[in-house]
Every structure is written in structure tokens, then in C-alpha cells.
Amino acid sequence: MKYRKYKDFNISEVGIGCYSLSGVYGTKDINEFKKMINRAYELGVNFFDTAEAYGNAEQILGEIVKSFRKNVYIATKVGVKEGIKPNLSEKYIKSACEQSLKNLQTDYIDLYQIHFDNPETPIEETT
């Protein structure tokens, strides 16, 4: 596995996108997801990308990696999820971030990204 150094952390060049954990590609089998994530980690993958928009993918990922959380780099995204319009207001971002932390069973998110543009919120409020 090849890695890229970011600060004091070596991040795998290969990452796992966790959209599939939402069940979007077919039947949801938590045991299979657990095997996939654990096997990827065994092979050296330590970068996992998820989003609040991916159903309960954050919860599933958080549960699976909690025993080795300090050894992985987690990216998640904010701004849109089922049932709401894109929202990048300061109030929404703070609330969504707190929920993502809870879902991921962690006290930090390595990379927090904007998932979709929200032209109704001034960029100054989002940054």
C-alpha cells in the first residue's frame, strides 16, 4: 500500500467510499460491510469517506472502526441529506457536525467537506 503524508499521519492512497453502506447498491448486509471494512484495513487502507447523506453509513462505519479509530482518517460531508434542501447555514453545519461526531462514535472528524453547493447561504457564513 502506498501512503501520502499529511501532518503526522500517513494516509493510504486507496480509500473506501462508504456510500454502499447506505444500501444504495442492493441488499444491506451489515456483516458483509464489516468484513469489507476490516479486510480493507488489514490490507492497509486507512482512509474512509462517508456523508450525512448516506443514510446510516456514518453509524455503521463508526461502529466498525471504533476499536482502531486512531489509526484511520475519516472524511465526511455536510450540506444535504434526504428530506431537506441543501443547507450550509452556520446553525445547520454545527448541528450536522455534532450529529456526525455522534454517528461516527468519535470526538473528531479528520476532514469535513461540503457535499453540495447551497447558493442561498452566503459563502462567508459557511466558512
Distance CA 9, CA 112 (A): 17
Whether 59 contacts 95, CB under 8 Å: no
What is the percent of the chain with per-residue pLDDT over 90, rounded to a whole number?
78
Which of 54, 73, 92, 108 is an active site residue?
Answer: 54
Domain ranges of the chain: 3-126
Write out pLDDT tens, residues 41-90: 999 999 999 999 999 999 999 999 999 999 999 999 999 888 888 899 99
Q: The whole model's pTM is what? A: 0.92
Which fold does the domain 3-126 belong to in CATH? Answer: TIM Barrel (3.20.20)
Is 3 one of the annotated active-site residues of the chain? no
Predicted pLDDT of residue 105: 98
Distance CA 72, CA 44 (A): 10
pLDDT at residue 18 greater than cutoff 80: yes
Predicted pLDDT of residue 68: 98
pLDDT at residue 127 greater than cutoff 80: no
Predicted pLDDT of residue 46: 98
